[in-house]
Amino acid sequence: MQLDAEPLLAELAQKIGTLPEDTAVVGIHTGGVWAAEKLHAMLGATLPLGKLAVTLHRDDFSKIGLHPQKKATDMPFDVDGRHILLVDDVLNSGRTLRAALNELFDFGRPASVKLAVLVDRGRRELPFSADYAGATMTLDPSQELVLKNDNNKLRFDIQPKN
């Protein structure tokens, strides 16, 4: 089953409204970066886009090990004292977000962090909530929501978890 993600992006941009001056948009690899790239343009952000790879902060390292990947963290601005809009595609357990915040804080102490997600699945295992969500959706735990980038058109595939 597929779900067009573009309307969710528009919805999200609208909820965020105008981006305060001095706010940096930061996407979480991989889906969050795609969403963040679009939001960055839609919101007319002035600072360059930040990217976070969370593999080095994952809490399941001892279970699944480390896999080399091309995705790398890129913070092309000073994080210290900055307002950050953190963007991810799906908010579920909150564990990725925990890793992302740890990674982010390795670069400095931001003034504030707000969270924007395309979809909030609402099955939290950690005390987080999104400041902005394109949609809230309840899915069976056996299903997985995966963001796909098809020629710069974003869509969600709903598929059984493998």
Partner 1 sequence: MPLQFNPQLGADGKLKHLLTTEGLPRAMIESILETADQFVSVGDREVKKVPLLRGKSVFNLFFENSTRTRTTFEIAAKRLSADVINLNINASSTSKGESLLDTIDNLAAMNADMFVVRHAQSGAAHLIAQHVKPGIAVINAGDGRHAHPTQGLLDMYTIRHYKKSFHNLSVAIVGDVLHSRVARSGIHALTTLGCPDVRVIGPKTLVPTDCERMGVSVFHDMYRGLEGCDVVIMLRLQNERMTGALLPSAHEFFKSYGLTSEKLARAKPDAIVMHPGPMNRGVEIDSPIADGRQSVILPQVTFGIAVRMAVMATVTGA
Q: Which residues contact 68 (CB under 8 A, 6 or more apart)?
A: none
Do 147 and 119 meet the contact criterion of CB atoms below 8 Å apart?
A: no
CB of 99 to partner 1, least distance (A): 9
CB of 59 to partner 1, least distance (A): 9
Count of CB atoms within 10 A of residue 82's CB? 21
- Give me the residues that bind partner 1 (CB under 8 A), please: 53, 55-57, 61-66, 68-70, 72-73, 79-80, 102, 105-108
CB of 83 to partner 1, least distance (A): 18
- Residue whose CB is less far from partner 1, 4 or 106: 106
- Residue whose CB is less far from partner 1, 68 or 141: 68
- Residue whose CB is less far from partner 1, 1 or 66: 66
- Longest CA pairwise span in the chain (Å): 42
Phi-psi map region of 122: left, alpha, beta (phi>0 left; psi -120 to 50 alpha):
left
Do 100 and 52 meet the contact criterion of CB atoms below 8 Å apart?
A: yes
- Residue whose CB is less far from partner 1, 44 or 68: 68
- The amino acid at 19: L
CB of 51 to partner 1, least distance (A): 12
- Residue whose CB is less far from partner 1, 41 or 56: 56
CB of 66 to partner 1, least distance (A): 5
Q: What angle do CA 64, 86, 75 make, to 5 degrees?
A: 80
